[in-house]
Structure 1
């Protein structure tokens, strides 16, 4: 485990990365087009459905693993976005929780296979 960064900092960063990537993925298939096929929801449409500012959504969508800007969505924001996208809020953090567990408990990682 990298000792230069505390596990809590790794958890926050991986949770944020996971949330932003999950948001991008969900937006890609959040609505149906006129033929019943999954279609991308615009940031403007998501803002209208969720009540979250479009500029805030743009920050989340633009975030990547190398981003240094501070963004920290609160639970209410995550739940509002999840509801507008018709996905469970927990799905936004599942990958981050698994990664954190692998970092904190590396000897148990081999048990997953």
Structure 2
């Protein structure tokens, strides 16, 4: 039985410019598209549906040391329904998923 898993993803930045650049980068289709999003899981050769349910909601606050933090909060939903890219007989069991994220470099296009 397919079901949905909802996530809340939060960004924490020390500068307003940094948050603006990260939110801009995440708005690209390959990261968090408004429609027709997907999450490829190379460990089992499947694709899962990914929906942006809300966000970014901008905010600010202070950390435990009293330093200012700028935040952006997203709500996303990932479906467990499978879209197979290969032969269903050869699907391995997945226990963990490791994703690589490019490091952020201020002022450089991502």
Query: Which structure has greater strand proportion?
Result: 2
Query: Which structure has greater helix proportion?
Result: 1
What TM-score results when the alignment is normalised by the length of structure 2?
0.30
Query: Considering only CA atoms, is the larger Rg found in Structure 1 or Structure 2?
Result: 2
What TM-score results when the alignment is normalised by the length of structure 1?
0.29
